[in-house]
Structures are given as C-alpha cells and as structure tokens.
Amino acid sequence: MYWSKTLIPTLREAPADAEIVSHKLLLRAGLIRKLAGGVYTFLPLGLRALRKVEQIIREEMDRAGANEVLMPALQPKEIWEQSGRAETASNVLFKVKDSSNREWFLSPTAEEVITTLAANEINSYRQLPKNFYQVSLKFRDEIRPRFGLMRAKEFIMKDAYSFDTTDAGAMASYQKMYAAYQRIFARCGLQAFPVEADTGVIGGSHSHEFMVPAETGENDVAYCEACGYAANIEKATSGLPKTAAREIGAAPEKFATPGVVTIEALSKDPYKVPANRQIKTLVYIADSQPILILIRGDDQLNETKLLAKTGAVVARPATVDEIVLLLGAKPGSLGAVYINFERFPDDVRNSLFEARKNILERDGISGFEKIKVYADERLQGANDMTTGANEDGFHLKNVSIERDIKVTAWFDLRTVSAGEPCAKCAQPLKIRRAIEVGHVFKLGTKYSEKLNATFLAADGSRQPCVMGCYGIGVTRTLQAVIEQGNDKDGIIWPLSVAPYQVCLTPLAVAPESEPMKLAEKIYAELTAQGVDVILDDRDERPGVKFKDSELVGFPIRLAIGEKALAKGEVEIKPRSGPVQFVKIADAVSTVLALVKTVYSR
C-alpha cells in the first residue's frame, strides 16, 4: 500500500474525550473514529490490525477442531424467553421492534441460537462432540460506554460453543479451548493469564477469564506469586482464620450508643469495640425477598458472591424506608439477634408486624415474616461480638453468633484484600487491575435442557448435550495490545498484528529520484515475499514521516535517504530497537530476517 492512497488521519493531539493511553492512540494513529458514544468506525489501518487478530483466532480455533459458522445478530425474543435470559440478561439486551411490532434482540451472545441449531440438527451421539464458533458484531446496551473499544455498545466478539455427550467430554472440550486461548493471546503478543472466575448470568459450573494486566483494566485479580493461584476478586478466596472464640456472659447485653452509626465510630472512645469484634448487618432485597447479610466489621461484602451463593437473580441494597419497616431501626443500629420485634410485648409485636407486612407487600416485597440470614463463614463460631440492637441508638454486646442468631446458611461472602494468606499455600496474596479479554465457561446442560438440545445415546436413552461456551472480545483484545505496547512516541505493535509490518520511508518521493526508485524496488521484493509493506510516498519533511511512522507503530521502518544512499546504504530501524545501516543489497534479506521473529515486539 502507498500511504497517499489510503486514509491515515493522524492527530498531533488526542480528542478531549479519550481518557486512557490506548484509546488516545487508537484515535491519534488514525485507526478508529467515533460515531457516537461506544460506537466506532474502523479506518483502513485499524481494520487491518483487527483482521490480523481475527485471523489468529480463526487459525487457532480451527486447529482446536472448532467449525466456523455465522449466526444472526437479530434474534427472536422467544428463544431468549425459553432460556430464561430475556429476564435475567434484560438490562444489557438491545431490544428492537419490527414494523409488525414483533420484538427482537440484537445479539450480545448466541447460546440460544446455537442451542436451537443443535436441537434441530444433532440427534445422535455419533455426531458428537462438536464445537462451533463465529466472529461477529455483538451488541450490549451498556449504560456507560467507556475507554473507546474497551466497553462499547457494539463490538466484535469471537464466541464458540461446544457440545459433548458426557461431563468428562465437556471438560476435555473446555481444556482444548483453554489451551487455544493461551496460544491466541501469546500470538497476539499479549501477556494474558487465566484466572478463576464467577459464571454470572451465563451460568455453569467452571469458568476462567483471561486477563491482561493493566492499571486501566476494569477487573481486580487476586493472585499468589508463590503457588500460581489467581482469581477474579469476585470469586477469590483466602486462607484467613475464623474469628477467635472467647469466654462470654450468658446472654446478649444491650447498651446505649447514641449517634453511633458506623463501624468506625463504635471502634473509638468510649466504646472501643474493634471492628473485628463487630458484626456488620446488611439488608438486601434479593429476588423481591428481604435478606440479612452478616459480615465481620472489618470485611466488605462481595455482591457477586452473594448472588452466586444464594442463587438469587437480582439483589439490591434495601432502602432506608424498607429497612425501618423490616427491622424497626435505621442503618447503623441493625442486627440479626432480634429480627421479629421480640423486644415488644406480643400484642404490640403482632400489630406492628401486620402493619409493616402490608406496606412491604404493597411494594412487591414478600417473605417479610421469615427473613433469611446469610452469614460470612469467617464469623462461624464467633462470640463476644457486638452488633446493632434494631433500636436506634443501641447495640448489643456479648453476642454469640451461633447461640443468639438464627443463621439460615453460611457462605464465603467477603471480598479478599491484598496481603491475606493464599488459601493454597499461605503466602500473601496480591491484587492488581486487569483487562478481561477472554472467558471460558463449562455450561453443563442448562441451555440444552431448556432448548431441547438432546441426542440419542448408544444405550438408546435420550440425554441433553453437555455444553461449554468460550468468548474473546476481539476489539477489546486489539485495544489491550495497544494498552500494553506503547511509549511516548506512539504504538508499539507486535509483528503479528501490526497493520503493516514494514514502513518504507523514502525521503525524496519524486518519481525519478533515487530514494523513490529504490523504495519501489524494495517494496516489490518484500511484497512478493508476503511481507505487509506500506510505502510512505507523501511529499512531507522527514520529521513528519518519522513521527507518523512511530505514532502508528510499524514494527520495522526502512528509511532511504540521499546521504546513506551515497554510501550505498539504507537505514533499518525496529520500532523499539537501535538503528542499523545495511548495504542496499542486504536490505531485503535483513528485513525478512526481522519479520521472521514473529512473536517479538
């Protein structure tokens, strides 16, 4: 390609709405342009890089035995209702109506479509296992698009779906994809590592995310350098000991705490109750039912764990009004010792109970009379604890959680912090930010059962396919490559995904000038060898050409100037390496040798 024939609108300054370095460079290097928030056009250079990432993904998916298909972006509402996700994934679904008022969803993923296909086309165990994938445009009704391609309303995703006859087979399919992902990200020049992950509304039993470490990422990963444990903070656990038991009195004791509504205030004079001897009581509305969550005072609730462990579809903190109706006190004085107004005489209690129940049920909240209490495992066996008395301005001490509180179930509900001992090897955990570029799930039979994707087994029985699904955010991966590879001058592409591998830079471009004639000759030779070359034929000053080639980040620049030519030489400069002058006759072979170092930046 000749530079003057394509469109590479480089910018000296980044548009004001670009926040992170990779977003700025995507715009400055002329790879993308924004049409609207979270919606971008890929310009020629950006599309070339994107296609290279896609090609790597296709090669590795094919190598792993997956078959490429292309499924509709426009999906009928009915199949989403059948899987149950019309409701559970409702907040991210783009919904459209056609002229006859029929509802459609713009595909954020394709479990329903592929499972419907399998239901129709796969009948026998002889046809399994199978793995189908596609690379296509996906839509998500992001409430807040951010960081360019990182979180967009519209993006390119590779999604794959495996179908097996047995659980063990599904596990093998999962491992194949896991290995393919490691190859894919390595070939893209990315340092991506797998971490244990929550399965979210996709569901399933087993899941890893592939993470690219970056301060601008939107995920926190807990990891152990000693044993290799790594997990999304939403899933991570640690090996902290349970709260120590002590000698205490026979019953909880109420004491006045006027104006004290925080853990911190109660830990100070005159009360001096350390946060780790307090029980924090949180009220949530989970699937329209009130629940209490008990966490140690110095811990933080992990809402993802709450949903995962309780099986709730949606949960939100209760409002202050709801809390007063439920427990009779405002936040700051809440506890789970007396949750049904035991402190009142029976007749008063019953009338309060009925009145409040009616109001809550009017607002769609049910199960008031039997509030479930979920407690974090770290509180198991804890006594000599202090918690709210469900009476404004009062707390209870001498609380033994097992004796005084009716806990419905114990779960790991807390968020781990850096420095806690690893659950596997006791070394201190670290936490860092990362970009999620891929996700693999073992789904099991959740979708195949709901959408009737069954097969006839060798023994004649009809069984649901055991499924897995595997996603890679292609456009996000592209941006992650830039986020990880840049310096003050611009992008540093790995050879594998660079829009062009070599930038030929003649410093005189008149058709009959020596630099231009030599550039055209080298261009022809490199192109014939299968190298992606761009020839900067613009009549610009050398400084402009050098700055642009570094901003765009071509891995190898071959400059041809009058001075070096007079000595029979040209100048070859890797994007992040030293300049070398080579004889004209050796120029092509030197470049070819550099291009062979496929995995290097």
Partner RNA sequence: CGGAGCGUAGCUCAGCCUGGUAGAGCACUUGCUUUGGGAGCAAGACGUCGCAGGUUCGAAUCCUGUCGCUCCGACCA
Binding interface with RNA (CB under 7 A): 10-17, 19, 28, 36-38, 85, 89, 91-93, 108-109, 143-147, 151, 200-202, 218, 303, 314, 316, 439, 471, 489, 507, 541-544, 546-548, 550-551, 559-564, 571, 573, 579
Give the pair of three-digit tokens for residue 402: 């097992």
| Shortest separation between residue 415's beta carbon and RNA, angstroms | 12
| Shortest separation between residue 92's beta carbon and RNA, angstroms | 5
Distance CA 437, CA 221 (A): 13
Q: Which element (helix H / strand E) includes 56?
A: helix 44-63
| Shortest separation between residue 33's beta carbon and RNA, angstroms | 9
**Looking at beta carbons only, is 15 or 249 nearer to RNA?**
15
- 270 cis-preceded (ω within 30 degrees of 0): yes
Order of strands, sheet of 103-106, starting from the edge strand that comes earlier in the sequence: 74-76, 103-106, 94-97
**Looking at beta carbons only, is 109 or 386 nearer to RNA?**
109
Exposed, middle or buried by CB within 10 Å (0-12, 13-18, 19+), for 272? exposed
The radius of gyration of the chain from alpha carbons, rounded to an integer in Å, stands at: 30
**Looking at beta carbons only, is 55 or 513 nearer to RNA?**
513
| Shortest separation between residue 550's beta carbon and RNA, angstroms | 5
**Looking at beta carbons only, is 65 or 561 nearer to RNA?**
561
**Looking at beta carbons only, is 30 or 213 nearer to RNA?**
30
- Whole-angstrom CA distances from 436 to 196, 216, 306, 474 are 12, 11, 22, 11
- 494 cis-preceded (ω within 30 degrees of 0): no
Q: Say which residues have a Cβ less than 8 Å from residue 16's Cβ, sequence separation at least 6.
A: none
**Looking at beta carbons only, is 177 or 423 nearer to RNA?**
177
**Looking at beta carbons only, is 392 or 548 nearer to RNA?**
548
The 3 state secondary structure assigned to 503-568 is: EEEECCCCCCCHHHHHHHHHHHHHHHCCCCEEECCCCCCHHHHHHHHHHHCCCEEEEECHHHHHCC
**Looking at beta carbons only, is 431 or 564 nearer to RNA?**
564
Distance CA 16, CA 458 (A): 63
Q: Which element (helix H / strand E) includes 476?
A: helix 474-484
| Shortest separation between residue 471's beta carbon and RNA, angstroms | 6
Q: Give the count of beta carbons closer than 10 Å to the beta carbon of residue 527.
A: 14
Give the pair of three-digit tokens for residue 521: 């000759």
Span between the terminal Cα atoms of the chain, in Å: 22
| Shortest separation between residue 459's beta carbon and RNA, angstroms | 35
| Shortest separation between residue 188's beta carbon and RNA, angstroms | 19
**Looking at beta carbons only, is 19 or 402 nearer to RNA?**
19
Distance CA 437, CA 195 (A): 12
| Shortest separation between residue 173's beta carbon and RNA, angstroms | 18
| Shortest separation between residue 26's beta carbon and RNA, angstroms | 13
**Looking at beta carbons only, is 471 or 499 nearer to RNA?**
471
Q: For helices 514-528 and 587-595, give the axis angle rounded to 10 degrees.
A: 40
The amino acid that residue 600 corresponds to is S
| Shortest separation between residue 435's beta carbon and RNA, angstroms | 12
